[in-house]
Amino acid sequence: MTGRYRISLAYDGTAYAGWQVQPGQATIQGELERVLEQLVGQPVRVHCSGRTDAGVHAHEQVAHFDLAEPADIRRLQHGMNALLEADIRILRAARCSPEFHARFSAVGKEYRYHFWTGAVMPPPLRLYRTHEPGRLDIAAMREAASYLVGHHDFAAFSANPNREVDGTVRRLETLDVRSRGSEVTVIAAGEGFLYKMVRSLAGFLLRVGRGEVAPEHAREILASKVRTARVPTAPPQGLFLWKVFYK
C-alpha cells in the first residue's frame, strides 16, 4: 500500500531553471526528487500545483508524491530541509488522501509581482523585485486592472496562446495594484492562468503606470485576442507564486 503526501514549500528561483526536471539543469522538482530518493531509497515523482518558470519564486507552492512505505511526517520534513539547499524550504508536510492531487485539486492560485520604484535597489531585495525607478501612475494601473478582472479571453496575455490546451478563456478573480513606499505590487488571483499570463499582466500594467499606454487600451487588447509587442512579459525575478487554494 502506498501513501500520498502533500507538502507546502517556498523557494528562491534564482538558481533554478524553473520547476520542471530538465537534463543537466538544476530545477526545483529535480532537487525535491533527489532528496526524497536519498531519504526513502527509491525514485519518487513529485507533482506540483503548476510549474513555475526559470527565476520565478514561490512564497507557497504545493506538491504531492506517493511513498511505498509510510513515513513519519516530521522526520520527512526535517530530512528534506536538511538535504535541500537553503533556497528551497519545506514549510509543511502532511499525509493526504490518495484522491488529493496538487494540480487537479487546486481551485485557485494567487501570484504577486513586485516592482521597486526607488532610485536605488536595496541589496537584500535585488533578487526579488523588478527595478522600475521613478513614479508610477497607480490610479491608471488600477483603472486598467479593473478592465481585466473577470471572465475574458486572455489570448493577448498568453506568451503562447496557440499551445494553451484548455483554450484561452479564464476568470481573473482579483487584479489589485498596491503601493507602499517604493514598493508596487500587482496581486493576481484566479482559478487558472495561461502561460506567462501574470508576467504579461504585470508588463502591461507597468506600461500603463509609465503613461505609455492609456488604461482603456486594456479593453481593446483583450478584444483583439492577439498577443503583440504591446504586452511585454515582465522579468521573472519580480514574480512569486504566493498561495494555492484547495477546497
Catalytic center residues: 53
Distances 193 to 16, 39, 54 between C-alpha atoms, Å: 22, 34, 17
Grid look-up 513519519 returns 72
Compute the least distance from the CB of residue 176 to a second copy, in Å: 21
Nearer to a second copy, 105 or 117 (CB): 117
The distance of closest approach from Cβ of residue 123 to a second copy in the complex, given in angstroms and rounded to an integer, is: 4
Whose Cβ is closer to a second copy: residue 231's or residue 244's?
Answer: 244
Q: What are phi and psi of 45, to 5 degrees?
A: -100, 130
Site string for a second copy, 83-102 (x = CB under 8 A): ---xxxxxx-----------
Q: What type of residue sits at position 179?
A: S
Nearest to 39 by CA among 76, 88, 3: 76
Is 11 an interacting residue with respect to a second copy (CB under 8 A)? yes
**Contact criterion met (CB below 8 Å) for 69 and 4:** no
The residue within the footprint of a second copy, chosen from 6, 12, 144, 242 (CB under 8 A), is 12
Residue 126 touches a second copy, criterion: CB under 8 A:
yes
Given the complex with a second copy, which of 128 and 195 has the nearer CB atom? 128
Nearer to a second copy, 114 or 170 (CB): 114
Which residues is 109 bridged to in the sheet?
Answer: 190, 244
- Residue type at 240? F
Binding-site member from 121, 138, 159, 222 for a second copy (CB under 8 A)? 121
| Residue 57 binding a second copy, by CB under 8 A | yes
Pairing of strands 88-96, 106-116: unpaired
Helix (H, G, I), strand (E, B) or coil at 148: helix
82 lines the binding site for a second copy (CB under 8 A): no
Which one of 43-51, 118-126, 165-173, 222-230 is the stretch in contact with a second copy (CB under 8 A)?
118-126
Residues 6+ apart with CB under 8 A from 173: 108, 149, 189, 190, 191
- The residues that touch a second copy, with contacts defined as CB under 8 A, are 10-12, 57, 59, 81, 86-91, 120-124, 126-128
